[in-house]
Amino acid sequence: MRDERNLVVYFSQMGNTKKFAELIHEQVGGDIKQIETVRNYPEIYDDLANAAKAEKDNNERPEYKDLNLNLDDYDNIFIGYPMWWYTLPMVMYKFFEDYDFSGKTIIPFNTHEGSYDGGTWDTIKSWERDANVLDGLAIRGGDIGVDPDGGTPSDQTETVKSWLNEIGF
């Protein structure tokens, strides 16, 4: 699958998932794109938590800036996000609704602080029945970057490499 056309696309509010996305991109090549919401989220963690909770409770679909993305250009799409309130951030719901992934291979990846993938890979599988959704990789945010509880990050390159190897990249 190394020679196929790869895209890494991700949402990251605090930078952890961004680091993860960049590690994948370094290994698999192709294109990388960041999903950026039109709205600005609060920087203070508790305020961000509340804003995200409200979006989830109201089942919102926050807008994101144009990705200039045509999925015809890709075979394998790595899709990354942080866990937010035990699910994907609502902007990711919108992203999955906006694009047609039929016939594509989707590889989810996410960061978290204890929920692992929280069932989100199964959620993606249930949304994208016409795609081949592979098992993803979940990394604790504090292991790769910023930890709200003050843990120490470490180099996750080997973890990412061996996972990619297992799934054929």
Ligand X SMILES: Cc1cc2nc3c(=O)[nH]c(=O)nc-3n(C[C@H](O)[C@H](O)[C@H](O)COP(=O)(O)O)c2cc1C
Query: Which positions lie near ligand X, rule CB under 6 A?
Result: 12-18, 48-49, 52, 82-86, 111-115, 141
Region of 59 (left: φ > 0; alpha: ψ -120 to 50; beta: rest) is left
CA 18 to chain centre: 9
- Least Å distance, CB 118 to ligand X, is 6
| Residue number of the CB atom closest to ligand X | 141
Residue placing its CB nearer to ligand X in the complex, 75 or 113:
113
* Residue 23 main-chain phi, psi, to 5 deg: -65, -40
Please answer whether residues 142 and 153 qualify as being in contact, where contact means their C-beta atoms are separated by less than 8 angstroms: yes
Cα 115 to Cα 17: distance, rounded to the nearest angstrom: 15
Residue placing its CB nearer to ligand X in the complex, 42 or 168:
42
- Least Å distance, CB 74 to ligand X, is 22
- Least Å distance, CB 135 to ligand X, is 18
Residue placing its CB nearer to ligand X in the complex, 49 or 71:
49
Residue placing its CB nearer to ligand X in the complex, 6 or 16:
16
Residue 40 in tokens: 């600005």
- Least Å distance, CB 64 to ligand X, is 14
- Furthest CA-CA distance within the chain: 43
